[in-house]
Structure 1
Amino acid sequence: MIKSMTAFARRDTSGPWGTLSCEIRSVNHRYLEAQFRLPEAIRETEGSLRDKTRSTLARGKVDVGMRLELAEAGSDQFHVNMETATALNETINNINRLLDNPAHINALDILRWPGVLTQAQPELEPVQAAARQLFEQTLATLVESRTAEGEKIEPMLTDRLDAIDQHITDLRQRLPEVLARQQEQLQQRLEQLRIEVDQERLAQEMALLAQKSDVAEELDRLGAHVAEVRSVLGRNEAVGRRLDFLMQELNREANTLGSKSVDAGVTRASVELKVLIEQMREQVQNVE
């Protein structure tokens, strides 16, 4: 089953520490390229998230974004250093006694003094564990989305493969007729010119002409490539690069078929084959 490289997934989670959201976007790319935008509190998890990405995805440009909102701090999360606050207050009072116009100092002024008020730092391990779990869930959703998109691409490819097979069958049936018409046209030209030609030499020329215009080999290779594409589509692995190579080979044979054509019907078939191959190539560019 083929997978698309274009998909989007989003998941959210929450806990006593707050709420966490994860978004993953992926688009087509020749290789796997992952970019992470993580809050500072879970920055340490980036290495493990990258490893999970590499073990899950084969190709695509992947953009991962996570947003963390910590729970509001409660009163129990603040600590007042009473010794420092008391010493500071006594010092302020002593200074005020020396002044003619003492300044008024309130509690907030004392709390702002460095070392008086501290806030307990939240435990980061539960947040980081939640981030790793959330990322795995979001990545699994992304894979499901890529698989669903791949299921839409595969029928487009198989329909065009069927059309190519039909063109190959029609051309095979026409080859004897095309060759016979060529020989007949050559014989008519000679009769019109009233030129006496050695029959052995004429047979050689006709054989040479038939060889130059014979496209049976190209049709065989086209058929072989189509069969290989069908086989690749059934593999349970990343096949995008293999399919891209096969599209190039199919296009090469279609071009050769057109260059060797001496019949308008064969030329039209060659053009239609290239159109079908190009349509497949556009879809294959998005296959993992």
Structure 2
Amino acid sequence: MVNSMTGFGRGKAASESYTVNVEIKTVNHRFSEISIRMPRQLLKMEDKIKKRLNKHIHRGRAEIYVSVEGEGVVTRSIRVDWDLIDEYFQFVKQAMEKYGIEGNVTLQELLNRSDLIHIEESEAANEELENLVLSAVEEAIVLLRQMRNTEGEELKKDLLIILNRLESDLTELQELAPLVVNFFKDRLMKRMQEFTGGLLDETRLLTEVAVFAEKADINEEITRLKSHIGQFIQTLNTVESIGRKLDFLVQEMNREVNTIGSKANDSRIATKVVEMKSLLEKLKEQVQNIE
């Protein structure tokens, strides 16, 4: 099965107390990477969310956004350091007596001092909220997978079209390969006759042709290319994550085509090599979108 690494899913779960919205966006990435943005009080759920997503997403960068509406997510309380306040008042009283300063300490002055009075936030365990978050995550994952699968099927169609064109070019190369040797033999024969006044050394001719045929032989590369294309098509129909394997096969196909290009001693083969390299470049671009 072909899955695209690009997708989007949105999930929502609500109760009388809370409403949770989750959005998941995935894009291309060489490895698996997950980034989560959510309220600070839910950070302890990060591992749980990642584990849920890792069951379904094996490659690509995923960005998860979690928002919560409702009261009671955080418990707030006032923290007063009474001992420090006592020392503060004693200091003020002594300073006023020592230096003859008149005045009073106001409540506003105390409220402005965060070291004396501050608000503490505590995150009480909230099983209801956690269940809502995980439910919304699951819903978002389902929609994400559907989108990635739909785009993957479209990618598969494009890949098969490219592979079909590559196979067609390979067939033409197979037909051209023996003609190249015959063309070389005829051209060499004419040149030898020109330089020898019509006399022809058959042994020398056959030796030169044999050496050329050995150097220009591309049948082995064509055979391997056909094998790689067959493996590519077979891989497209497997269930597991296939992106990296397909990327490897494209690299191997590029290697074989480059070898054919280096051996080519014929303009028609060289033209076919250029066409095939262009097709492989398109194939590589599409494979980079596959999980």
**Which TM-score bucket, shorter chain as reference?**
0.7 to 0.9
Match of 1:208 among 190, 196, 211: 211
Letter in 1 for 2:167: D
How do residues 1-288 of structure 1 correspond to structure 2 at under 5 angstroms?
1-71=1-71, 124-194=126-196, 198-288=201-291
Q: TM-score, normalised by structure 1?
A: 0.81
Instruction: Give the aligned CA root-mean-square deviation in angstroms.
Output: 2.7
Is the 1:240–1:284 contact (alpha carbons within 8 Å) kept by the matching residues of 2? Answer: yes
Whether the aligned pair in 2 keeps the contact of 1:16 and 1:71 (CA below 8 Å) is no
Structure 1: stretches of 5+ with no match in the other structure: 78-113
SS at match of 1:154: helix
1:57 alignment partner, SS class: coil
Do the aligned partners of 1:42 and 1:131 also contact (CA within 8 Å) in 2? no
CA contact (8 A) 1:36 1:63 kept: yes
Query: 1-side partners of 2:2 and 2:36: how far apart?
Result: 26
In 2, Cα distance between equivalents of 1:121 and 1:7: 33
The CA distance in 2 between the partners of 1:274 and 1:159, in whole Å, is 15
Shift of 1:202: 2.2
Secondary structure class of the residue paired with 2:22 = strand
2:212 is aligned with what amino acid? L
User: 1:178 aligns to what SS in structure 2?
Assistant: helix
Report percent identity of matched pairs.
Answer: 32
Q: Deviations over 1:3-60 (max 9, x none)?
A: 0001111122221112111010111111110011121332222111111122211100
Residue 14 of structure 1 aligns with an amino acid whose one-letter code is: A
State the alpha-carbon separation in 2 of the partners of residues 260 and 147 from structure 1: 41
Q: 1:243 to 1:153 in 2, by over 3 A?
A: same
Corresponding position of 1:105 = none
